[in-house]
Amino acid sequence: MNDMTMEQRLALNHYDVDTEAHIKVKPEVCQECDLRPCLYVCPAECFKLKEGKISFSYEGCLECGSCRICCDQEAIEWAYPRAGFGISYEYG
């Protein structure tokens, strides 16, 4: 287990992906954000920079809450997925 890469560890998780995003990001706010810490804190790399703009995908979210804490611009509407959806961890 200790020799596994992050990608290998993430591949152990099981996701029941909802059709409805449980986290929503306001792109117009992100455009004015200088530091963009979400790009660095999200362990699942749900935030990406594409052609100078923040792109967010909720499907691989680990429900850790890091993005909610790091964003000081109030650009993130954060919630857990609806009941029955989201991540199931292989080890706890």
Which residues of the chain form contacts with ligand SF4 (CB under 6 A)?
23, 25, 29-30, 33, 36-38, 41-44, 46, 54, 61-67, 70-71, 73, 75-76
Q: Which letter, b or e, does each residue of 28-62 get, where b requires 16 or more Cβ atoms within 10 Å of its Cβ?
A: eebeeeeeebbbeebebebbeeeeeebebebeebb
* First vs last C-alpha separation in the chain: 14
User: Minimum distance between the CB of residue 3 and ligand SF4, rounded to whole angstroms?
Assistant: 23
User: Minimum distance between the CB of residue 32 and ligand SF4, rounded to whole angstroms?
Assistant: 8
- Of residues 3 and 74, the one with the C-beta less far from ligand SF4: 74
